[in-house]
Amino acid sequence: MKNVFTIFKREFFGYFNSPVAYVILVIFVLAAQGFTFFFGNFLDQGDASLARPFFMWHPWLYIVLAPAVGMKLWSEEYRLGTLELLMTMPIAPWQSILGKYLAAAVVWAIALLLTFPIVWTVFYLGNPDLGPILSAYVASYCYALSCLAVTCAVSAFTRSQVICFIISVAICLLLTLFGMQPIIEAIIKALPSSMEGVVRFIAYLCFLTHYYEMTKGLLVLRDLLYFSSIIAVCLMITAWALQSKRS
């Protein structure tokens, strides 16, 4: 665990030694609030519910911003050649992977904490249930972590941060779009009816389906389990990619 913490520390302070983390935090916080007020009809809604106007935009922000945070995780190690240092230290590869992933995860935790002013606004305007808000925050964080895990895995395949960014955005976008109800319906209509089950199953595997369940205010164990397995699978792909680069 000590080694995980050492790796975590280096990576985490690395984010804040460069402008990257600050830029992304500022963009995220501003965009999350901006979308809520300008496009979410937050103020016209009457009831001071936060779930739709605020949280509906988060997946779209994560699609772009999570890869921006995660793209350097392994690409940078390849480019600098420091992977050779890291992998010849007396630590297990999973310790490096976990430490680095956690550092990026904490950056997102900070980003979400910085959106608390909006929660405060909601409480100021009305008297909402705290439960659904917390549950939606958990859902949002799960979404961020999943996009981050995808980026982590992609970055283990390439030494170019640009390529990593583009491919990660594309994957996250697909995993989001295929969970949108109108798109699912359109695809089902276009395909023979025998395929409906398959499409529904693929849709079920997408981030957005589970995200909506959770933002409805239900902290469903099934959905938490879903996001955890996405993250676990991505981290295992990372380990496999790192291993195959070395053999």
Partner 1 sequence: MIKVENLRKVFGAKVAVDNVSFTVKKGEVLGFLGPNGAGKSTTMRMVTGFFAPTAGSVSIGGVDMLENPEQAKKSIGYLPENAPLYSDMSVSSFLGFCAELRGLHGAARSKAIDHAIDLCFLQNVRNQSVDTLSKGYRHRTCLAQSLIHDPDILILDEPTDGLDPNQKHEVRALIKRMGEKKAIVFSTHILEEVEAACTRAIIIDRGKIVADGTPDELKRRAPGADSVRVIIRGSGARAEIEKLGCVEKIEATASDDSSLIGRALPTKKSTGAEVAREIGALAALRQWKVEELHHVEGKLDEYFRSITRSDVAA
Q: Which residues bind partner 1 (CB under 8 A)?
A: 2-3, 6-7, 9-10, 14, 17-18, 80-82, 84-85, 87-92, 246-247
Which residue's CB is nearer to partner 1, number 88 or number 127?
A: 88
Output the smallest distance, CB 106 to partner 1, in A: 17
Structure tokens at 152: 């982590």
Task: Please say which residue, 189 or 246, places its beta carbon nearer to partner 1.
Answer: 246
CB closer to partner 1, 3 vs 160 = 3
CB of 28 to partner 1, least distance (A): 22
The distance of closest approach from Cβ of residue 3 to partner 1 in the complex, given in angstroms and rounded to an integer, is 6
CB of 47 to partner 1, least distance (A): 47
Between residues 69 and 118, which has the closer beta carbon with respect to partner 1? 69
